Amino acid sequence: MRPTKLKVGLVQQAVADNDKVTNWNKSAEQIAKLAAEGCECILLQELHSTLYFCQQEDTDAFDLAEPIPGPATEFFGELAEKHNIVLVTSLFEKRGSGLYHNTAVVFDRSKEIAGKYRKMHIPDDPGFYEKFYFTPGDMGFTPIETSVGKLGVLVCWDQWYPEAARLMAMAGADLLFYPTAIGWDLTDTDDERARQHGAWETIQRAHAVANSVPVIVANRTGFEASPVDGDPGIQFWGQSFIAGPQGEILAKAEADGETTLSVELDMERTEKVKRIWPYFRDRRIDAYDDLTKRWRD
């Protein structure tokens, strides 16, 4: 039986270097803290093992990737089993020579991998040169079945696409998870920073509203200097949050500082909200064919 009450948690972390073991141990301390608070399902941020290496295009950065299964999945699988939790992690996956993905891996109270998701939407912007590193995912939008429900796991840039959230929800996702690594260019004005953050939070809360499911978002914090001379680096804006099925903010972290969040979710309320706001009943699927086109020319 799935729980009617589910305590979820997330870790908001800063990364100082590419020492994976140190970064894993930092995450492990916070995972243990959340598990001790009664969290049964815990989310880590995007690419939590290392610095955000996508600030430049550098073939040496591929050395940071690892296979699945591999050292990271072994480490975090043992934590999931030790603490009897569902754990959502994020890895730079080496699928094969010259073939890499940005991949979320889920463990269900066991060392064994319950499922994974490969990031589908890959950005390419100044300071975020992800297309150089990541092949777009080829696993589609399929929730991962766990002991606490079906988890719709998406990754960072996926957060801007309502189609991705909708397809996860249509496949029965009970919750949506977004591990992210997003921040400001230090040359942006305060007004522009506020607009960017507002858009980021609003779109993800809207996924909760449109699909009547809770949304859990773990974002990186701290400043990471660019390895490119003259580039401003990235101030990751933290502000991780957990929203309920009507988009209401249940918990939110500060912009600066490493922290954890935990919330007890009433999973029965999701069903009640879907009965009151039956969006899926009223969808006009007979009129949406053009959504599969790039553009309506």
- Quote the tokens at residue 42: 């815990």
Rounded CA gap, 279 and 287, in Å? 15
37: annotated active-site residue = no
Angle of helix 20-36 relative to helix 71-83, nearest 10 degrees? 20
For residue 211, give the 3-state DSSP assignment.
Answer: helix
Residue pair 154/142 in contact by the 8 Å Cβ criterion? no
For residue 51, give the 3-state DSSP assignment.
Answer: coil
Residue 231's φ and ψ, nearest 5 degrees, are: -80, 145
Exposure string (b/e) for 32-68, b if CB count within 10 Å is 16 or more?
Answer: eebbeeebbbbbbbbbbbbbbbbbeeeeebeebbbeb
40, 46, 93, 130: the catalytic one is: 46
54, 119, 130, 150: the catalytic one is: 119
Residue pair 109/81 in contact by the 8 Å Cβ criterion? yes
Residue 157's φ and ψ, nearest 5 degrees, are: -55, -25
List all residues 6 or more positions away from 43 whose beta carbon is below 8 Å from its beta carbon.
Answer: 8, 9, 10, 11, 88, 177, 179, 216, 218
Cα-based angle 172, 159, 3 (whole degrees, multiple of 5): 35
The type of residue at 229 is D
119: annotated active-site residue = yes
156: annotated active-site residue = yes
39, 41, 54, 156: the catalytic one is: 156
The residues that are catalytic are 46, 119, 156
